[in-house]
Structure 1
């Protein structure tokens, strides 16, 4: 495959080159982006260029040295790339997309919501959400997980994590309010189809009938719910202990409060990112565990030793459970590409970048670097008991000053939900998934996940 001319001048014959056959490369990346990235690095070394529609060429690295250089770059030199494929989902005011001083202020505003003490308080909520889904005792739940039942793991995982984030963010505890949000969020995410995310040219209306029109209508419906909650809560004399209540009492450094419009986009980001990513990781964890009987048996034994009444905080601290969750995130980082645009000249692994250029870390490559990870293709949680990995070797939530603000909550929730499920039900992976290669990982809104849902059968 022809890779074209040097990106930064003919005088550097060994410099990485941007692909010339853009369509062929885009198709290869769209079919199996992880395999494509590995192929590019094997043939061209590290770093290497990849072209994205509307974004241009991005210089990628998948080495700890490259990750260190990017994550340690001066904060005033970096900003999110634009156009950004998820901007319609989260909004331009989202913490994910703002830069510079605005990012520092907004992160300072949001960070207390994810302090360790506050996160620990969500333990019972997380466990109860998993139990509600297993028992099928709410209108939003699927059927009870009784022997003989087939479980749609993606739908079940999303139901659990959405219930958690709705109560943690808004204090939603009524069926009517939860049903309204669940319906609006499902419509919103479904409307943002793959073509709309990958091809900005499609983001135009056509007499109310185009996919973009349907997406905007769904987003307006969800925003109306969020803004109504904000307005109602601003008039209440008392403040709730949920995230919205905390944000309504917090001010910026200059004493001003966050506007309703900006708060709406921050909350929409939390709703979308706060349940989709954790749900996807939970599905992958169940998938790998039920293909590895010895790993599953060891984890069940650890959970059973803790006892059925073990408090959530104790479950979250189980060593092998932690290793299983970390290994799942190593193999399947939910956000596999971390991008930064430079605002001034910069050099990544000796390759010069001009102001406006974009660089990135390919996390699947970082998590399979042969010099760091032995047998990187294997699901082997024990590796996380044998040694600790640095932030430039293992980065499932990104790195540097833009590392995911909700990472601690995602970790905590994943452990408690996984322990709750494995401690109460027995599952069997549907036969067609029990052997062979794992399903391909493809973009799903803000995260990546299995191309198709992975079903499980409940057994006695």
Structure 2
């Protein structure tokens, strides 16, 4: 396929091809540029860096997302979910996409940025939503549209919203550094961290990384949350089994480790990988699944094709969480978070966020789907693929 700015991309959809791409050493490939999300995340984003710059940034940014730190975050995730559904009662409708967007955005603002004041969280939410909505597909994919016409037009709006968010981020960073108490949220841990040469992240780089976590983490998690709730309530057997398992979970930390709920999330990510392609630009020749590729070529994994490959998955079109309760698939058969040295640093966090959000909602509300006809399709919007229409669930009762 041909992509604007990248040229021809050779895609693979087999475990052999995925293995060859994901295990290629960093010296043989780099992030393909230009990347359409650069206007939002900035040139210093971990997503766009390669080589030594990528390694150093990753060494600073990875520790706050390690599994052992999840216990510091799960209570805040549950609180964000509770706040979103606090006013719903019998007969009301839960608009799943809208609720998922609000929950995951609030989680980023609380857990990553460490913003506790409600009014300030609202300001962050407003500016972030405006920034992400201003990044239309055409503006992202067609660079020549990025023109400021006397301070007007789509590009001028995006730049203005990005500047507003940067001012909020700069205020938060300055307050933390001025207080001398960085805190245990992601921002605080990053401010305390140094790379292996003892360097901290500069303010420009730090803002780009925070915007990356905001755009990448919020958009993808909200989509996965919406799809998971859709599938749970589309199949009464799955819904009942999740509810029965949740009865054994007394705390958000317990919810995060439930095996069947975890399998539902994994199956959701198999059927609906939110970022459906993994790309590398080769800097040296590489043979991928027997195909000789040259330096300069862009190779990729088509995740939907890999995740629905009948040579790998039994009955791949069926939504079947139980396939993840047995032996784990290899990282070359199942790669919703990418893989290799560029695997998403927030994968563990995302799983906990989804589990706790789903569990909190379902322990609080008895929900039913009255959907008839074909389910929504996955369509590209922003940096992720999302349901083509809103998913509505009826509130039967509060538990």
What's the TM-score once normalised by structure 2's chain length? 0.96
Deviations 1:345-368 (A, max 9, x none): 222222222222100001111111
Aligned-partner Cα distance in 2 for 1:132–1:323: 26
2:342 to 398, 402, 417: 402
Offset from partner CA, 1:34-79 (integer Å, 9 cap, x none): xxxxxxxxxxxxxxxx111221100100100100000011111111
User: Which residue is 1:124 aligned to?
Assistant: 75
Determine the structure 2 residue equivalent to 1:284.
227
Partner of 1:110: 61
> 2:368 aligned with 1:425, yes or no?
no
Q: Does 1:355 align with 2:295?
A: yes
CA distance in 1 between partners of 2:252 and 2:234 (Å): 26
Bigger radius of gyration: 1
Provide the C-alpha distance between the structure 2 equivalents of 1:453 and 1:220, rounded to a whole number of angstroms.
31
- SS across alignment from 2:295: coil
The Cα shift of 1:207 comes to 1.6
In 2, distance between residues paired with 1:394 and 1:97?
23
Matches within 5 A, 1:140-155: 144-155=87-98
After TM superposition, give the deviation of residue 150 of structure 1 in Å: 1.9
Query: Which residue is 1:445 aligned to?
Result: 382
Equivalent position of 1:457 in the other structure? 394
Q: Secondary structure at the match of 1:113?
A: helix
SS of alignment partner, residue 359 of structure 1: strand
Matched, 1:384 2:324: yes
Match of 1:435?
A: 373
- Paired residues of 1:336 and 1:364 also in contact (CA < 8 A): yes
**Cα separation, partners in 2 of 1:198 and 1:455, compared to 1, 3 Å:** farther
Higher RCO by CA contacts (8 Å cutoff, separation 6 or greater): 2
Q: Match of 2:394, SS?
A: strand
Q: What is the Cα-based RMSD across aligned positions, in Å?
A: 1.3
What CA distance in whole angstroms lies between the structure 2 residues aligned with 1:392 and 1:340? 15
Alignment check: 8 A CA contact 1:291 1:435 kept: no
In the alignment, which residue of structure 2 is the partner of 1:45?
Answer: none
Query: 1:430, 1:192 → 2: CA distance?
Result: 33
**CA gap 1:430/1:190 in 2 versus in 1, 3 angstroms:** farther
SS of residue paired to 2:104? helix
Shift in Å, 1:285: 0.6
Task: Name the SS of the counterpart of 2:170 in structure 1.
Answer: helix
Is 1:239 matched up with 2:182?
yes
The question of 1:166 aligning with 2:106 is answered no
Task: Tell me the SS of whatever aligns to 2:45.
Answer: coil
Counterpart Cα distance in 1 of 2:174 and 2:257 = 39
> Residue 222 of structure 2 aligns to a residue in which SS?
helix
Give 4+ residue runs of structure 1 displaced > 3 Å after superposition.
Answer: none
Q: What is the CA deviation profile of residues 236-268 of structure 1, one whole-angstrom value per residue up to 9, with x for unaligned ones?
A: 122211111112222222222211000000011
The aligned counterpart of 1:369 is 309
Q: CA deviation at 1:380?
A: 0.8
Check if 1:71 corresponds to 2:8.
Answer: no
SS, match of residue 57 in structure 1: strand
Q: Unmatched 5+ residue regions in structure 1?
A: 1-49, 136-143
What SS is found at the alignment partner of 1:95?
coil
Q: Which residue of 1 aligns with 2:355?
A: 415
The whole-number CA distance in structure 2 between the counterparts of 1:364 and 1:270 is 24
Deviation at 1:188, TM superposition (A): 0.3
Structure 1 residues 297-336: aligned runs within 5 Å? 297-304=240-247, 306-307=248-249, 310-336=250-276
Structure 2 distance, partners of 1:298, 1:190, is 37
Q: Secondary structure at the match of 2:225?
A: helix
1:452 is paired with a residue whose SS is coil
SS at match of 2:287: strand
CA-CA distance at 1:430 after TM superposition: 4.6
Helix, strand or coil for the counterpart of 1:356?
coil
